[in-house]
Amino acid sequence: MKKNHLLILLGIAVVVGLAGLYFYHSRSAGWRDTKTDRTILQQLPINDITEIQIRSVPASLTLEKKGNEWGVAERSDYPADFTKIRELVQMLWELKAGQEMQVGPSQLGRLNLIAPGQGTGTGIGIEIDLKGDQGKQIASLVIGKSMDQSNAATGSAAAGRFVYNPAVKDRVYLVSESFYSIDPVSMGSWLDKSFIAPGELKEIDQSAWSNNP
């Protein structure tokens, strides 16, 4: 009897242990560290990009490449800051996920990952659309909430932003990038400030104002 009793207790302990292990894994299945290729926009053809749309609510802007020059479409193609464009494209090309989470469409709003135009009210993020010749879609990324403190769901204290790649359904990523260059969306910050430098201004033609007193 003692032997049978011991076997029963041992069996119960094994079952409880397995149940606890299953519960732990089911709780942590949402978030997981990415160990393989962590690149979010994989194989991004950066040399094919000729248009960048940055949209939020309510601001938006379009950067277009015509010939060898970049301009701001909403400002009649006024020259854009190429250095800033290059840094943005390089950042998107190198952007890697620190963690990823399985999230359904109904949960995107709580992380501000709903693309502008696909929802109203709260939960709207900033969308970056990359396009090529003739408006061909290359890639898209939605920038969501910041996380700058410990998060119980991840068990980490990593700072960064939540991002969503619409081409990869039901996956949300946590990245270390802050996206300060595009948040908030400001058209003026993308204009080329050196296009007309004060030091280059030599003379103002006043002939058009000759009739003024």
Query: Across residues 10-19, what is the average pLDDT?
Result: 51
**pLDDT at site 12:** 59
**Contacts of residue 58, Cβ cutoff 8 Å, sequence gap at least 6:** none
What letter does residue 115 receive in the DSSP assignment?
P
> What are the residue ranges spanned by the domains of the chain?
34-194
**pLDDT at site 132:** 97
With left for phi above 0 and alpha for psi between -120 and 50, is residue 192 left, alpha or beta? beta
- Specify the higher pLDDT residue, 195 or 60: 60
**pLDDT at site 11:** 57
- Give per-residue pLDDT as tens, 131-147: 999 999 999 999 999 98
Query: Across residues 155-162, what is the average pLDDT?
Result: 69
Closest CA to 151 of 106, 98, 108: 98
Across the beta sheet with 31-33, the strand order is 31-33, 99-102, 171-175, 160-164, 137-147, 126-131, 51-55, 60-66, 69-72, 78-79
Q: What is the rounded distance in angstroms from the CA atom of residue 146 to the CA atom of residue 207?
A: 54
**pLDDT at site 60:** 95
**pLDDT at site 20:** 45
**pLDDT at site 7:** 58
pLDDT classification of 206: cutoffs 50, 70, 90: very low
- In this predicted structure, the answer to whether residue 54 has a pLDDT above a threshold of 90 is yes
Q: What is the rounded distance in angstroms from the CA atom of residue 46 to the CA atom of residue 44?
A: 6
- In this predicted structure, the answer to whether residue 158 has a pLDDT above a threshold of 90 is no
Query: Across residues 24-48, what is the average pLDDT?
Result: 68
pTM: 0.73
Please, what is the Cα angle at 176 between 165 and 27, to 5 degrees? 70
Percent of the chain with pLDDT over 70: 69
